[in-house]
């Protein structure tokens, strides 16, 4: 039995479906009945729990041989990152160790490192989580994906709305920072492969194409069939706007996210060697990712 946390989230849904389709017995951790609707029709066991509630995790992990931990937050106060991401992961590791779990797959993020951990709370939390997993005594795999794309949510859905509706496409800074988007189902395949491995792993994940933000927006607008112009917006101006936008329940951009973008490229550092070693090949090219996401025919 494999416990998946964050199972009703954007990435979680793809992971649970992939594992269930492969015939794995999956137990999905859900916080409430409304969230469970995201897994309607998927062959999996649902268990109610929360990573901030250790008792619920002990019950959820009972009888499981592996855990896939996907819970994360993108925005919030420093205390939120500490409570949900760092504290929640430690709670889960404790429960997994007590239950005799043999394999722990942790979703991290490209850009996480000892050098970046003090820049923003998100990276600090991701680094602390990685350290906790490495020190847990469990067999582990840590996966660090670049931007994760699909047609049913995530960052690409937000980018698509901007490209469709905004009179101009705002490109932050010079647009020269590079990214390496990976399709959500390819990321789910990486999780499945990491579960089967017996080695302790740290794998950076990205798709086959590396583009800068100027190229990305151009390709997205081509896929959408729109010719709206781009406008470069300096970081200092975006930061002043982010101060106001952060007050929204789901801010489109925050000062922390701008800081992460300023840090540079979001591409794998080993040329994909870790992905090859994992057995992850034939990942979806960016042009095909965009075509599928916007629903355009060949």
Residue 241, in any domain of the structure: no
Residue 172, in any domain of the structure: no
- pLDDT tens per residue across all 298 residues of the chain: 999 999 989 999 999 999 999 999 999 999 887 777 778 888 899 999 999 999 999 999 999 999 999 999 988 888 999 999 999 999 999 999 999 999 999 999 999 999 999 999 999 999 999 999 999 999 999 999 999 999 888 889 889 988 888 899 999 999 999 999 999 999 999 999 999 999 999 999 999 999 999 999 999 999 999 888 999 999 888 888 888 887 777 787 888 888 998 898 999 999 999 999 999 999 999 999 999 988 754 4
The predicted structure's pLDDT at residue 121: 94
The predicted structure's pLDDT at residue 298: 46
CATH number for the domain harbouring residue 40? 3.40.50.720
pTM of the model: 0.93
Domain count for the chain: 1
**Which residue segment(s) compose the domain that 134 sits in?**
2-148+181-206+267-280
The sign of the CA dihedral 221, 222, 227, 230 is positive
Phi, psi of 260 (to 5 degrees): -65, -40
Residue 116, in any domain of the structure: yes
Edge to edge, what strands does the sheet with 66-69 contain?
A: 45-48, 26-30, 2-5, 66-69, 103-107, 139-145, 201-205
The contacts of residue 223 (CB under 8 Å, 6+ apart) are 287, 290, 291, 293, 294, 296
The predicted structure's pLDDT at residue 296: 56
Residue 275, in any domain of the structure: yes
Residue 271, in any domain of the structure: yes
Residue 248, in any domain of the structure: no
Residue 84, in any domain of the structure: yes
Residue 32, in any domain of the structure: yes
């Amino acid at each position: 039995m494999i416990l998946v946390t964050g199972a009703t989230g954007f990435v979680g849904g793809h992971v649970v479906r992939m594992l269930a389709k492969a015939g794995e017995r999956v137990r999905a951790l859900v916080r409430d009945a409304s969230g469970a609707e995201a897994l309607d029709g998927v062959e999996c066991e649902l268990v109610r729990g929360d990573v901030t509630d250790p008792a619920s995790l002990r019950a959820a992990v009972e009888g499981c041989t592996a855990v896939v931990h996907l819970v994360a937050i993108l925005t919030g106060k420093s205390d939120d990152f500490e409570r949900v991401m760092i504290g929640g992961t430690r709670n889960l590791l404790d429960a997994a160790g007590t239950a005799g779990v043999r394999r722990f797959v942790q979703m991290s993020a490209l850009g996480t490192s000892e050098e970046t951990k003090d820049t923003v709370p998100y990276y600090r939390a991701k680094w602390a989580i990685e350290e906790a997993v490495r020190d847990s005594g469990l067999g582990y795999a840590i996966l660090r994906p670049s931007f994760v794309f699909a047609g049913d949510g995530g960052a690409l859905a937000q980018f698509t709305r901007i490209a469709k509706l905004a009179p101009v496409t705002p490109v932050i800074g010079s647009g020269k920072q590079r990214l390496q988007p990976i399709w959500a189902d390819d990321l789910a395949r990486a999780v499945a492969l990491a579960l089967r491995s017996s080695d302790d792993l740290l794998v950076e994940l990205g798709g086959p194409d590396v583009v800068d933000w100027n190229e990305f927006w151009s390709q997205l607008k081509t896929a959408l069939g729109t010719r709206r112009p781009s406008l470069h917006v300096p970081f200092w101006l975006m930061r002043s706007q982010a101060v106001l936008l952060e007050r929204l329940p789901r801010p489109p951009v925050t000062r922390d996210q701008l800081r992460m973008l300023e840090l540079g490229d979001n591409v794998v550092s080993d040329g994909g060697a870790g992905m090859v070693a994992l057995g992850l090949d034939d990942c979806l090219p960016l042009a095909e990712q965009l075509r599928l996401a916007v629903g355009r025919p060949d």
